[in-house]
Structure 1
Amino acid sequence: MTREITTLLFDLDGTLINTNELIIASFQATLKEFLPEKEFSREEILPFIGPPISETFGNLLPERAEEMITFYRAFTNEHHDELILEYDGVYEAIRALYEEDYKLAIVSTKIYDTVMRGLKVMGLDKFFQVVIGFDQVKTAKPDPEGINMALTLLNASQEEAIMIGDNYHDILAGKNAGVKTAGVAWSIKGEETLLTYEPDYMLHKMGDLLKIVHDEEQ
């Protein structure tokens, strides 16, 4: 029996780890510090989740973007462990995939050190052979660079890989890289939003991946 899918590439935030409240709090603190004259509602902050913060702050206040990035990262670093949460069933599903010898990687728009911190807090770091952070690529998702880098390091082909994420950047990056794609229904932006980008699969729990990869076996 051969496997059609051998390689699974994951986004981190909002996919494997519930960092939504940490990200929102970090944006709220940063925006209050640098744009005190404008109030941002929670709904106005949601579109900022997913793209690199350099892009978001560059659009909001380009002349102070670097200061905002530094402030944001300092806030995130200080409050990281207390505000991140576990998604039900993620640890068990990732462990099962690892124990079945699937190739597993992270492709994130967060810097490498912060990705590793989140993985370690949740006990997931031991399952991933490759971790690609924002500071390891020239161009972030939806550019396929990070996915292609992970595939090269894992010695895997496009045809045998799937990209899993909670944001349209993940789905588009997967399509741009020529791999299968899966959205997660627990995305803070909503399942319907992700479906408009036509992922190959929609996961309602991480355990759904096990059925998908097993069904793909020939």
Structure 2
Amino acid sequence: MPVYWLPENELRFPHPKEASPDGLLAVGGDLSPERLLLAYSWGIFPWYAAGDPILWWNPDPRFVLFPDDLRVSKSMRPYFNQEKYRVTYDTAFSAVIKACSAIPRREQVSTWITQDMIKAYERLHELGHAHSVEVWQEETLVGGLYGIAMGKVFFGESMFAKATNASKFGFISLVGALKAQGYQLVDCQQETKHLASMGAKTMKRSVFLEWLRKNRNLPLVPGNWEDGVF
């Protein structure tokens, strides 16, 4: 199965069904806001190591969460009842994405959140498309996550925690806020036990693409979530 090379001067992608069995769809292109937004609208995301060409992925199956399916474990409930952490939105995007890039991952030698990726998503944040969730213990940032909001789908990218269950606290808070705003789906990209424990499940690519086809008919509503959206 061929892997497509993307020229920088053409804003396009092959159809996601052309991806290899492991989900690799294309190589090359750039990380411009226009290309990233086009990619996410089709469920395509970049994932590559520093020094390598940009790799674009669309795995099958997809790992997703319907907000109504969110599960909050008994062990997490005291964190909310006691207000152990404080959550904000879009107040420290750069700090969150840099913390995500610095957290060691199992079976991962180096981070995939390269400096070019950080700059690209910071630009998307400036344009009102990329958003962060910050989890604070007093005045210390102890957890968070970031992703892209398009229509009624939130495309999660990465999360980090420097205190017990801080990333779960942020994710649960985000899903509740998304549900209140009418969001219909959270894209978690690939399966993890961490997200499965909170209700995420696999979805066939064909079904996921149908969700995105409908979502592309909705207007983009960029903005800063710190302004009171959540």
- The verdict on a shared fold, with TM-score over 0.5 as the criterion, is no
TM-score, normalising length: structure 2: 0.29
Give the strand-richer structure, 1 or 2. 2
| More RCO (CA 8 Å, sep 6+) | 1
Which structure carries more helix by proportion? 1
Q: TM-score under structure 1 normalisation? A: 0.30
